[in-house]
Amino acid sequence: MNEQIRRQLQSRIESFAADVTSILQHAMADAVSGAVRTGGASKGAATSASLRASVSNDALLREIGKKPGQRIEEIAKILGVNSKSLKAPVARLVKAKKLKKTGQARGTKYRLA
């Protein structure tokens, strides 16, 4: 198998696994939060809110590609999610060299690599 194809497949697999992990983490956090609030077990671990909080890497890349130079808060608002839920996926995309960032802290802006 061509090395470039192998790398692309590996990248897609890692992105998929990261997305599934994020969904499960949100679902578990919601379940624990619900159990703490009610003093018992939650009625459903995977709520629609936790599933909506997850954003695919493709959706992130598409949005950043439409308007390069956005801050994470701006991207989150457009995608309808909490900016904290984008920190890990954005960091993975920067590490995978699919995104470039400029600036620091809240002034960090992102564009396609």
CA atoms within 13 A on the CB side of 85: 26
Structure tokens at 89: 């996926």
User: What pLDDT score was predicted for residue 21?
Assistant: 79
Question: Is the CB of residue 101 less than 8 Å from the CB of residue 92?
Answer: no
Angle CA 75–54–25, to nearest 5? 130
User: What pLDDT score was predicted for residue 103?
Assistant: 92
Structure tokens at 70: 């956005």
Q: Which residues of 24-50 are buried (b: 16+ CB within 10 A; e: fewer)?
A: eebbeebbeebeeeeeeebeebebeeb
pTM over cut 0.85: no
- Ranges of each domain in the chain: 1-54, 55-113
Nearest CA to 95 out of 110, 81, 107, 105 is that of 110
Instruction: Please list the pLDDT of the chain residue by residue as tens digits (113 residues).
Output: 788 888 888 888 887 887 787 777 777 777 776 666 666 544 444 444 443 446 788 888 989 999 999 999 999 888 888 888 888 899 999 999 999 999 998 889 999 99
Q: What is the DSSP letter of 1?
A: -
Nearest CA to 29 out of 13, 8, 53, 12 is that of 53
User: What pLDDT score was predicted for residue 51?
Assistant: 39
| Domain 55-113 fold | Arc Repressor Mutant, subunit A (1.10.10)
